[in-house]
Chain A
Amino acid sequence: MSVKKIKQYGADVLRKKSLPVENITGKTIKIIENLEDTLKESKGVGLAAPQIGVLQRVFIAIDPDTKKVIKIINPQIIESEDSEIDIEGCLSFPSIYFSIKRPKKIVIKGLSPKGKEIIVPVKGLLARCFAHECDHLDGVLIIDYASKEEKKHYSL
């Protein structure tokens, strides 16, 4: 249980593919607790394990309306609907924002920390967040969506 330093763009770990969690153990729970502490400290909406240097398919998000923390292990997007472009930031890219097209609604399948299979339908901001976190688990980052002009703007 501690606040971790969030890995910043350039760190190798952010580009690696995370491994599925085979067995949910005390170690898994600890990762989730660390994610939670770190996210709360950062004022972000979601955080994926590679962002704190752990290559495991785990992410968490805070529902902005209910303030409830959603924790998902081995997530899989099973449905996605519509799309919209909005400005998006990443905790691993301070002060850099890109316009990114994401689904308006998605349904995610995964495991709860108790190992129960869960199916979570989300829309709007949370749908954007879930899609963003799933990208992290595959080593995909927001810069991969940026146009030439946007990259030039930030001298990236």
Chain B
Amino acid sequence: MILQKIEAQKGNITQAVKKISEKENIPAEKISESVARGRAVILNHKDSGWTGIGDCLHIKVNANIGTSSNIINIEEELLKLKKSCQVKTDTVMDLSTGGDLDNIREKIIQESPVPIGSVPIYQAVVETIEERGSFKFLTAEKIFETIEKHAKSGISFVTVHCGITSEALETLKKGTRQTGVVSRGGAFIFSWMALTGKENPLYERFDRLISIAKKYDLVLSLGDGLRPGCISDATDNLQISEVMKLGELTEYANQEGVQVIIEGPGHVPINQIFTNVQLVKNICASAPLYLLGPLVTDIAPGYDHITSAIGAAVAGWAGADFICYVTPSEHLALPTIDDVIDGVVSAKIAAHAGDIARNIPGSRELDDQISQARFKRDWKKQQALSINPEKFKKVRESQEIFSEDVCNMCGKYCAMKIIDDIMKSPISHF
């Protein structure tokens, strides 16, 4: 097993870096340097599908799928995988908590063309509750075993909530927050710590995580168990103290040649997004930043793919590298297939907006191409270039098409056509 970061530090351009360089049209040396410095990571999917995430690369998007304890339908989850890849998600995370978790995960990895991530603590907790009735019987051993099992089965990156400590638990108990802990993994670990009086093994034995990561070149996504779950809790002492811990761990991982990603908030008012991104980047050695949104307001359940895309666009501009989608079902239900599509597309839009703002090569060009086609009212080309061609077609064809030269929005008063015509053939003089 070659370790991407170690190879990059040695100055070797790996096959993975070459592939990413070709795919993204960014010089391999630049990518390799970022990987060496821990500013970019390479996710390995079945030794052939590599995805790069980091400062010099296009902003990537993740779609979460997986069963819940209430709804278990593997076929449906596999369809979500397929659909989210069709609308070009860059990675998928299996967050299953219901059914045969090993089987589901293996099937997803097998069928996926993109790297798969997971949150192994879910399985460790679910199985402990099933076997022993309460997750207070969860052991450190079980957590690390599950993480290794995931890595071995082909998981490319794992969320590990390493920054949670007993010190944070004490602060949390003071009850300064409106919504406490909203990270599922974070909630498990905090409760386990409260029930057992023990320190978080993922923090205490981070070295064990490091050795598992080294064995499989597993990318560690350092989870934000204390991410703010509402606007009021954004950028508070709990969130920032967790980031400080993650900063220490990042430094350690960098020394060990292990690739890490930092996970970030959550819910953040728009005016605090730049501060959040810069803070995390500065404290965590500019490691790739993976954001859940952030959602810029709490008032829009049913539309949180929008509240999060707004935040993600600003965050991308500010320097976030990886965006986890949020679907219209967020805070309400397990997402449907359509929700998954809307979620991925919304996040892709935000990511692309960020790419434009950051001048990532090849991004603006896409806008120029579609705009030219739009001005010429070239519907075929517009459809092909649009972020979701299927949706384009569906909407355009939802009404009778009276003319190929305009759409029904303005009909014969199509501004584009009027101007195009006048520019093509100005009024003739005789």
Chain A contacts to B: CB under 8 angstroms: 42-47, 61, 87-91, 97, 125, 128-129, 132-133
Contact = CB atoms under 8 A, between A and B. Distances in A.
A45 B429 contact: yes
A129 B427 contact: no
Contacts of A45: 428-430
B427 A97 contact: yes
Nearest to A131: B430
A46 B428 CA distance: 9
Max chain A Cβ within 10 angstroms of own Cβ: one of B427, B428, B429, B430: B430
Interface string B408-430: 00000000000000000001111
Interface of B: 427-430
A91 B430 contact: yes
A133 B427 contact: no
A45 B426 CA distance: 11
B427 A90 contact: no
A128 B430 contact: yes
A88 B427 CA distance: 6
6 contacts: A42-B429, A44-B429, A45-B430, A89-B427, A91-B429, A129-B428
Nearest to B422: A87
Nearest to B428: A45
Secondary structure call for the B interface: loop
Given A46-B430, A90-B430, 14 more contacts: A43-B429, A45-B428, A47-B430, A87-B427, A88-B427, A88-B428, A89-B427, A89-B430, A90-B429, A91-B429, A91-B430, A128-B428, A132-B430, A133-B430
Contacts of B429: 42-45, 89-91
Contacts of A91: 429-430
Contacts of B428: 44-45, 88-89, 125, 128-129
Nearest to A6: B429
Closest 3 CB pairs of A and B: A44-B429, A132-B430, A89-B429
Nearest to A91: B429
Contacts of A133: 430
Nearest to A130: B430
A133 B428 CA distance: 13
Contacts of B427: 87-89, 97
A82 to B, nearest CB: 18
A61 B429 CA distance: 11
Nearest to A51: B430
A91 B428 CA distance: 9
A15 B429 CA distance: 18
B414 to A, nearest CB: 18
A50 to B, nearest CB: 13
A59 to B, nearest CB: 9
B425 to A, nearest CB: 8
Contacts of A128: 428, 430
B133 to A, nearest CB: 85
A129 B430 CA distance: 6
A69 to B, nearest CB: 14
Contacts of B430: 44-47, 61, 88-91, 128-129, 132-133
A61 B222 CA distance: 76
Nearest to A45: B428
A49 B124 CA distance: 96
A96 to B, nearest CB: 10
Nearest to A43: B429
A90 B430 CA distance: 5
A12 B427 CA distance: 26
